[in-house]
Amino acid sequence: MTVNNAATPLIDAPRGLAGVVVTETEVGDVRGREGFYHYRQYPAVDLARTRGFEDVWHLLVHGTLPGTRRRAAFTAETAALRRLPDGVRAALPAIAGAGHRSGPLAGLRTALSLLGAARGFRPVYDLGPDQRRADTVAACAAVPTLLTALYRLGRGLEPVEPREDLPYAANYLYMLTGSEPDRERARAVEQYLISTIDHGFNASTFTARVIASTGADVAACLTGAVGALSGPLHGGAPSRALDILDAIGTPDRIDTWIRERVLAGDRIMGFGHAVYRTEDPRSRMLREIALGFGGPRVRFAVEVERRVEAILAELKPGRELHTNVEFYAGLVMELCGLPREMFTSTFAAARVVGWSANILEQAADSKIIRPVARYVGPEPHAAVPLPE
């Protein structure tokens, strides 16, 4: 028998809190059965097709899409914050060297903590809304600089200083490669970044909000979110989806390879989603972008997608499984010259804005998130004295 001594009655929740509403939000929503998601009142894919990253960033943290003048001011404000404090920049070689096997995303956890200290971030509990927003903007602006510097240092290359005259996505590619990207690739990466800024109460977003509910500073909230994102069940799969294309190799091997995996019960990376029961709208848009580049690699990916869905319909009737964002995201990033080890880091460079919007919303509520666990271990009894 379970005895409930809690002040509030215990409520059993499903594993993983699937379907449990834990709060209300104005940041956005994912409608899995409809195959649709939105940021505030705007369809996210529409924003990715028609707006720039800075516009959507402004929408998420300020609540409105900017006009021409406000966009210029916000772009200038964020671009000026890309350069790192001297103390942070000086520490990056040691961070990159210590984590050369785990990569830039692991280094970002340490670097973000250091950035928060260098910028003097204080607990959100002690700040007003304007300063909270200022801290999130400063952190988000610095994340691409941190990630690209850690990547280059890990390969024995000097970091590339950010440029204030380039938009967010183009500057990210510039700092990563050392060359200014062409307009088509910069726009493709920008659309990917916009499409992944926010996506409901996923694990990393929920982590950020739990930390924000304690009143901690913005750097602490974002560091925790990065830790959650680093897990392979959350943000670590775009490169693994490309690994499937490499493993299949040639069109004549597609059916054999897929049948073997399906019959063995293996998961096919890049397919299926915890929320969507239809095609992932992000995948649809990224497929269009990939087709715009064209080439044999893209045609091969489209054929793999077609055959996976067909073979699943044959072998697992009634079980719909479509590509998720990771399948074509990896392909688009590869086409734009991004190395695979930077795929999840690039995801983080977008999602940091969504985390920030959720941190700001949670910080406005002084109630700490404090669930309970049902104890199922042995019944308590007197401690056994240590034998003499």
Would residue 62 show up in a list of annotated catalytic residues for this protein? no
- The two tokens of residue 28 are 């956005």
Backbone angles phi, psi at 83, to 5 degrees: -75, 145
Contact 219, 136 (CB under 8 A): no
* Number of Cβ atoms within 10 Å of the Cβ of 208: 29
Contacts of 81 (CB under 8 A, 6+ apart): 137, 138, 141, 142
Burial 344-367 (b: 16+ CB within 10 A, else e): bbbbbbbbbbbbbbbbbbbbeeee
Q: Which of 54, 305, 326, 334 is catalytic?
A: 326
Contact 118, 87 (CB under 8 A): yes
Q: Which of 58, 273, 322, 334 is catalytic?
A: 273
Distance CA 47, CA 65 (A): 10
Burial 301-323 (b: 16+ CB within 10 A, else e): bbebbebbbebbeeeeeeeeebb
Contact 189, 173 (CB under 8 A): yes
- What one-letter code names the amino acid at 13? A
Angle between helix axes 325-335 and 281-293 (nearest 10 degrees) is 30
Would residue 326 show up in a list of annotated catalytic residues for this protein? yes
Beta strand extents in the chain (DSSP E only): 28-31, 36-39, 42-43
DSSP 282-309: HHHHHHHHHHHH-SHHHHHHHHHHHHHH
Q: Is 31 left (phi over 0), alpha (psi -120 to 50) or beta?
A: beta
- Looking at the annotation, which residues are catalytic? 273, 326
